[in-house]
Structure 1
Amino acid sequence: MNIHMTTDNGSPQPLCLAATGPLTGDVTVPGDKSISHRAIMLGALAVGETRITGLLEGEDVLATAGAMRAMGAGIERLADGSWRVHGVGVGGLLQPAGALDMGNSGTSTRLLMGLIASHPITATFVGDASLSGRPMGRVITPLQMMGAAIAATPGAGRQTLPLTITGACPAIALRYRLPVASAQVKSAILLAGLNTPGETVVIEPIATRDHSERMLAGFGANLAVAETPEGRIITIRGEAELKPQDIIVPGDPSSAAFPMVAALIVPGSDIIIRNVGMNPTRAGLVRVLQAMGGRIDLRNERTVGGEPVADLHVRHSSLTGIEVPPGGAPSMIDEYPVLFVAAAFAQGRTIMRGIDELRVKESDRIAVMSQGLVACGVACEELPDGLIVDGRGGDPVAGGATVAACLDHRIAMSFAVLGLNAARPVIIDDARPISTSFPGFVPMICQLGATVRD
């Protein structure tokens, strides 16, 4: 089997991993996807040359780079693995010659819609089957309020791709309270506000990941954040001039989640994951796993490029089921699928609510994970806004199933991890989507001691 998978149009590539002994060793994970997207976008809007080290070179981020090139930015990968971005300046985006193909990347789509909303250009977004089924209404509504004209595919009222947006110039400054916690919606509005006269304000009742705020401030945007009884209020003054930066991208905590849970559930395991971003708005999974009894120690804590970073020392642990506080969901929303896997090995019941956002990701992650866990012998109960998992107290799961990944990279990796402690093989029907976020996932797990079953 070719273990460096790509999402081409060829045949499905099944994947089955096994662990014949403890996982041990010292690994790194790819650069943070959220930060990588934003570094490319803001570098493309700065005046001058931005250098990026540690950029995630997955297909989602490359889709962002391709779109920014199509709108005039110069973006190239250098021989040393770093990236150079020559920006066009805020307000300088050019009309793309053709449709912008976002592949599987919802982040690229929603954030780029925000950028274009305040530029005098028209762009059409297309994507793969998974992305084309995801709703865009939450982003469309505020951007239309700012003056952008948006025509989306109705999709039973879900407003999906293909989608065409014509920006407003000048756009209308907006004060917008997020109806649902969403870092992508917040970021889209702030990015639109960059080229909008006056002050654009976003109010989030529940704090979400703050990479956009940190990076906008780092590039020189006039941005202020206030914690108030009304919520977290982010204000950006438009018509900004961004200054180029040298960006060091930390390891993605969403990617670190997979080796972290793998080490917790495979007996005898003892690993270190280097250089993982520990932004408080992203570190929810670590806190929850520690609350379940996971032996996860943060070492060498430091700040890199304005982001907190640490090395994670993770050892096999006896986990106990808990009720996960729903208020922490925004800080770990992408990590819930692999948390479901950890819960399968805990003693007792793990209750996870307030995560209905998972139903509109690359797949309905609650339904798909529930079906796959049951097929592998794990008792669980699907809720409208969550999942209850009855753990096996550390015993191997039964396995013996072929699981549908449903074009979802996190589903594929989560069940690959589950299979590391299964009595019978757990086969993922198609592992190609993994390359959207973690092209080196299989080699990394094998470096720790796992093997690929043919």
Structure 2
Amino acid sequence: MVHGLTIIPPTHPLRGRVSPPGSKSITNRALLLAALAKGQSRLTGALKSDDTRYMAQALRAMGVGIEEPTETSFLVSGTGGLATPEAPLFLGNAGTAVRFLTAAAAFVRGSVTLTGDAHMQKRPIGPLIEAMRSLGIEAEAPSGCPPVTVRGSGSFEGTRVSVDAGLSSQYVSALLMLAPGGRGPVEIVLDGDEIGARGYIDLTCAAMRHFGADVAPRGAGSWLVQPGPYRAADFHVEPDASAATYLWAAEVLTGGAIDLGIAADDFTQPDAKAYQVIRQFPNLPAVIDGSQMQDAVPTLAALAAFNRTPVRFVGIANLRVKECDRVAAMATELSRLRPGLAVEEGDDLVVTPADAQTFAPARIETYADHRIAMSMALTGLRAPGVTITDPDCVGKTYPAYWQALSDLGVKLEPVAG
């Protein structure tokens, strides 16, 4: 059994064509919206990974017909509602699935319990539960994290909800996708100015409109959603921008040219903003605000280790409640290469680059976090002796990641346990 992969720094620029997988964020939104619609929807370009499989399995358990004709497509047959599952829904560490389905469980006429693995049971969901209660929906999460129990009635009476989205924009997205099921128009309002990755809410609204919902922004911090059913529709999922960041970084680290088949400007996902930052390497900005491209921060932090000058990452407190504490993880793992290479200062991460020839061989812990594994692998493109433990954790969002590097000419040596 392979317990690690050692990356051998390539002696040539990485060149070639790599097709990133479909967007996890968009695939999970489209799966849910197609499931809530009455009729058949075909999703193409979709991601097949641990996260989207958990979503599909849960929807099947609630009476939705889901076929998988190809490796990148789903055929979703919805009835316009969701049935009560026979058992608790286990969703691994799929945060989008847990949060979106927690809200969608209000469409069920019965009790739904949603849970996940040990990591998921540490990820906050309290603000979403409080918001759902304010709409008159019975929901509880005694620990403030999953497991969650929702007792749905098929609809709800509330017309206005305020939600604290400081920890995650997914709370807002979950409520937005729920809102058309109300008995009247629903206004969703931010409680405070803080919100993680606002661009993901734009993705949600665009997907909702594609499936027939009437959703409109009302200023910077509120949205009005009209009641009405979702309509079945075919939907094409664009490639995953977060996955693209690793390939963009690999390109500049090696002086290569990697064709992703899509221009950076054609992405609609927030993490595509990282492209313009990555293109500045090895002269990255002294301060990078990661608040609106959160999943790209580990990529940028790995890149910063080889920059000409130090980089401070700010606006990243939300990274502490992802699949792991990514601020602490990146500080710890980068510093395995050279003590003090990265340090935490409050919720900031400061990376002070050094000559890669001074880096020590390192066995990188991944904390079962796909983004730690994929971003830290980038350091192995320049630093000899970087071994990534638990390499299979990339299956959460990019199962073919190691194959993509291999296809570009990166040699990977398996390490047995």
TM (normalized to structure 1)?
Answer: 0.84
1:33 partnered with 2:24: yes
What is the alpha-carbon distance in structure 2 between the residues aligned to residue 52 and residue 261 of structure 1? 29
Q: Name 2:376's counterpart in structure 1.
A: 415
- The answer (yes or no) to whether the contact 2:84–2:108 under 8 Å persists in 1 is no
What is the aligned counterpart of 2:6 among 16, 39, 43? 16
Q: Please list every run of at least 4 consecutive aligned residues from structure 1 whose deviation after the TM superposition is greater than 4 angstroms.
A: none
* Mean Cα deviation higher: 424-433 or 276-285: 276-285
Structure 1, residues 27-59: CA drift from partner, whole Å, max 9, x if none?
Answer: 110000011001111111111110011110001
- The answer (yes or no) to whether the contact 2:330–2:342 under 8 Å persists in 1 is no
What is the alpha-carbon distance in structure 2 between the residues aligned to residue 442 and residue 396 of structure 1? 24
What is the aligned counterpart of 2:113 among 96, 119, 124? 124
- The answer (yes or no) to whether the contact 1:119–1:195 under 8 Å persists in 2 is no
- The answer (yes or no) to whether the contact 1:147–1:167 under 8 Å persists in 2 is no
What is the aligned counterpart of 1:265 among 214, 232, 253? 253
Q: Name 1:385's counterpart in structure 2.
A: 347
Q: Name 2:205's counterpart in structure 1.
A: 213
Secondary structure in structure 1 of the residue aligned to 2:8? strand
- The answer (yes or no) to whether the contact 2:102–2:150 under 8 Å persists in 1 is yes
- The answer (yes or no) to whether the contact 1:224–1:235 under 8 Å persists in 2 is yes
Please report how far the alpha carbon of residue 100 of structure 1 lies from its aligned counterpart in structure 2 after TM superposition.
0.7
Residue 285 to residue 242, structure 1, CA distance change in 2 (3 Å): same
Secondary structure in structure 1 of the residue aligned to 2:181? coil
Secondary structure in structure 2 of the residue aligned to 1:57? coil
What is the aligned counterpart of 2:217 among 203, 214, 225? 225
Q: Name 1:254's counterpart in structure 2.
A: 242
- The answer (yes or no) to whether the contact 2:333–2:364 under 8 Å persists in 1 is yes
Residue 80 to residue 150, structure 1, CA distance change in 2 (3 Å): closer
Query: Number of matched residues?
Result: 403
Residue 73 to residue 323, structure 1, CA distance change in 2 (3 Å): same
Q: Name 1:186's counterpart in structure 2.
A: 172
* Mean Cα deviation higher: 55-64 or 345-354: 345-354
Secondary structure in structure 2 of the residue aligned to 1:60? helix
TM (normalized to structure 2)?
Answer: 0.91
What is the aligned counterpart of 1:202 among 173, 179, 188? 188
Structure 1, residues 77-127: CA drift from partner, whole Å, max 9, x if none?
Answer: 1147522100111xx210001111101201100011111134422111121
Structure 1 residue ranges without an equivalent (≥5): 1-10, 295-317
Q: Name 2:93's counterpart in structure 1.
A: 104
Please report how far the alpha carbon of residue 131 of structure 1 lies from its aligned counterpart in structure 2 after TM superposition.
1.3
Structure 2 residue ranges without an equivalent (≥5): none
Amino acid at match of 1:113: T
What is the alpha-carbon distance in structure 2 between the residues aligned to residue 362 and residue 18 of structure 1? 27
Residue 397 to residue 151, structure 1, CA distance change in 2 (3 Å): farther
Residue 79 to residue 329, structure 1, CA distance change in 2 (3 Å): closer
What is the alpha-carbon distance in structure 2 between the residues aligned to residue 133 and residue 12 of structure 1? 28
What is the aligned counterpart of 2:127 among 138, 142, 153? 138
Residue 399 to residue 146, structure 1, CA distance change in 2 (3 Å): farther
Secondary structure in structure 2 of the residue aligned to 1:87? strand
Amino acid at match of 2:395: S
Identity of aligned residues (%): 31
Please report how far the alpha carbon of residue 141 of structure 1 lies from its aligned counterpart in structure 2 after TM superposition.
1.6
Higher helix share: 2
Amino acid at match of 1:387: L
Q: Name 1:243's counterpart in structure 2.
A: 231
Please report how far the alpha carbon of residue 392 of structure 1 lies from its aligned counterpart in structure 2 after TM superposition.
3.0
- The answer (yes or no) to whether the contact 2:366–2:372 under 8 Å persists in 1 is yes
Amino acid at match of 2:403: P
